[in-house]
Structure 1
């Protein structure tokens, strides 16, 4: 009997994960991760992790499996929360869920599981894993979940071969309604529980409140840039190389306060992110304003009217070499090589056609179509068919 430790989160997906593995004859242990102590910034009045750990415990009892809670809040603060503050301070937008999987669930948590003699760690992610022997070596593949509506492979885009080798994703083969039906059938308390929202393991957080713990509010100007801004009309020069063309197209628009008119005030540029519409509190325009750029140095937010504003769109982005991660290390590109892929720059985004170009500057991802609100700090992930091949931090 192989031993598997399930990250029981108190939700329906991880509950069914534990149930299915037990049915398959594994020796199952349930562990709940406590990653957060500070309830002052969570939106709900009740203490979300307490309720979740309680539900996880009741599920473990029902399934007759050992259960314990592990406190990872120190590591979570250091690896996720501090990183988030750092990124927002620089005017970038981090993705804590991707990091939480790489740094906490499949690193710190996995080490604890292995110290308990586990052969595998299982989570309730909607994704699948397969393996193939290529050139005499076992290669693990990360595949999209069967439920296209719930596919969470993007959140696991930073996993390594080593981490994948020890991971199991039983619900990845199922559709969400099937998972709920199994939970009902097995009489699990979580069968009708709503899916958790918000930050990985923290729950719903008011982001400005959360960031205000470290990043002080400071008043600044909101500037509206017109649709016919001269910066959008620069003709393309003649390029000597593909790399030169990609570098030109990957540049973001640079604005100065005289490029538009002041339409309002904000409490801190680092609380805003490109593509954001809510929280600007500026009226009087026909269409809503969207953030097209933030300048954290000078504390200015640049906005454009309407979701089709030119300032929101680019086709090409760069991932610096040290930020490129191949799940499939055997497919890594050498300088000068290209690969046609499907890619996304955020979770829930439909996959879009793109080409990867490996250059001396790093890896360029050139989309066939314009992409809205390409944001530094977020992850771009690329796929072939159903398989996630790699990812990187947008620079």
Structure 2
């Protein structure tokens, strides 16, 4: 009997995952990860870890499986929270959920599970694992979940072959309503529990409060850039190569304060992210204002009216070599190779047609259509059919 350790989070998805594995004849152990102690920044009643660990314990009791709690808050602070502060300080927008899967669930947690004699770890993610043979070697695939509305493969876009080899995703073939039905049928306490929102394991966080723990408020200017600004109406140069064109399409516009007009003040450029609409507190515009760029050095937020503002739209992005990751290492592109894919730059975004171009220093992703708010620090993930092949941090 193979032993599986399930990350029981106190939610319905991991509860049903544990039940299905037990039904399939695995020896199942439930482990709850405690990753956070500071209630001062969480909107407490939204996702207190105490309630979650109690729910996880009740589920384990109901299923008749052993249960324990592990405290990973030290590793979580070092690998996720400190990384987040660091990225925001640089003016980038991190994705802690992607990091949390790579660094905590499938690294720290996986190592604990293996020490407990586990053959696999399992989570309640809506995605699937495939195994194919290539030249006598097993290759693991990360496949989208069957439920299009809930597919969570994007959050696992940084996993390695080694991590996937030890992973099981028991609910990947099910839809969310089917998962809830199973939980109801067997009388699990989590059957009708709302999905947790917000940071992986921390719950709903007041992000400015959270960031203010480390990043001090600093008053600065909000500058509005007009759609008619000449930056957007320059003649496109003639390109001598594909790479030159891609460098131009993915370039970052260098805004200056005198490119627009001052429309308000803010408490710190590092609290804002590209595409953000809430929190600017500037009224009186015909269309709502969106953040089109932030300058953390000068502490200026650049904004534009309407979600079709040219400052928000781009057709290409770049990923540096050191932030480029292939799940399917056997399919990694060599310099000057290209590949037709479908890609997304955020969770839940419908997949977009794109072409990958490998160059010496990294990888360009060129989209067929304009993309809104391509944001440095976020992850781009690319797929072939329903298989996630690789990902990278947008630079």
- Asked if TM exceeds 0.5, the reply is yes
> Structure 1 residues 155 and 46, CA, compared in 2 at 3 Å: closer, same or farther?
closer
Quote the Cα distance in structure 2 between the aligned partners of 1:94 and 1:173. Answer: 29
Displacement after TM superposition at 1:253 (Å): 1.4
Secondary structure of the residue aligned to 2:140 is strand
How far did residue 159 of structure 1 move? Answer: 0.2
**C-alpha contact (below 8 Å) 2:47/2:196 kept by paired residues:** no
Local SS of the residue matching 1:59: helix
Residues of 2 paired with 1:247 and 1:362: CA distance?
A: 12
CA deviation after TM superposition for structure 1 residue 47, in Å: 6.7
Summarize the alignment of residues 156-235 of structure 1 with structure 2, pairs less than 5 Å apart. Answer: 156-235=156-235
1:231 Cα offset (Å): 0.8
1:3-42 matched pairs, under 5 angstroms: 3-42=3-42
Are 2:47 and 2:204, in contact at CA under 8 Å, matched by a contact in 1? no
Query: In 1, are the aligned partners of 2:47 and 2:203 still within 8 Å (CA)?
Result: no
CA distance in 2, matches of 1:362, 1:25: 45
1:131 aligns with 131
Which residue number corresponds to residue 278 of structure 2?
278
Q: Quote the residue 2:347 is aligned against.
A: 347
The alpha-carbon deviation at position 239 of structure 1 amounts to: 1.7
CA-atom RMSD in angstroms: 0.7
Matches of 1:368 and 1:225, distance apart in 2: 26
Deviation at 1:46, TM superposition (A): 7.4
Give 1:147's aligned residue.
147
Give 1:362 deviation, angstroms. Answer: 1.0
CA distance in 2, matches of 1:55, 1:61: 10
- Contact 1:110/1:121, CA 8 A, preserved across alignment: yes
Structure 2 residue ranges without an equivalent (≥5): none
Alignment correspondent of 1:338: 338
Give the corresponding residue for 1:304: 304
- Which residue in the other structure is 1:102 paired with? 102
Report if aligned partners of 2:47, 2:202 keep a CA contact under 8 Å in 1: no
Matched position secondary structure for 1:77 = helix
2:46 touches 2:204 (CA, 8 Å); kept in 1? no
- For each residue in 1:8-57, what CA deviation from the matched residue of structure 2 results, as whole angstroms up to 9, or x when unmatched? 00000000000000000000000000000111000124771000000000
Match of 1:394 in 2: 394
In the other structure, the counterpart of 1:366 is 366
Deviation at 1:187, TM superposition (A): 0.7
Give the whole-Å Cα distance in 2 for the aligned partners of 1:184 and 1:87: 42
| 8 Å Cα contact 1:226/1:304 also seen in 2 | yes
Following TM superposition, where does structure 1 have runs of at least 4 consecutive aligned residues deviating by more than 6 angstroms?
none
* Cα distance in structure 1, aligned partners of 2:211 and 2:339: 39
Kept after mapping to 2: 8 A contact 1:142/1:388: yes
- When residues 248 and 47 of structure 1 are mapped into structure 2, their CA distance, relative to the original with a 3 A threshold, is closer
Which residue does 2:83 correspond to in 1?
83
Q: Distance in 1 between matches of 2:284 and 2:198?
A: 31
Question: Does the Cα contact within 8 Å between 1:39 and 1:47 map onto a contact in 2?
Answer: no
User: In the comparison of the two structures, how many residue pairs are matched?
Assistant: 395
Provide the rounded CA distance (Å) in 1 between the counterparts of 2:388 and 2:46. Answer: 37
The answer on whether the counterparts of 1:80 and 1:99 sit within 8 Å (CA) in structure 2 is yes
Deviation at 1:64, TM superposition (A): 0.6
Q: Counterpart in 2 of 1:120?
A: 120
Residue equivalent to 2:255:
255
C-alpha change, 1:383 and 1:20, in structure 2 (3 Å) is: same
Task: Identify unmatched segments of 5+ residues in structure 1.
Answer: none
Summarize deviations over 1:155-201 as a string: whole Å, max 9, x none: 00000000000100011100000000000111100000000000000
Are 1:312 and 1:372, in contact at CA under 8 Å, matched by a contact in 2? yes
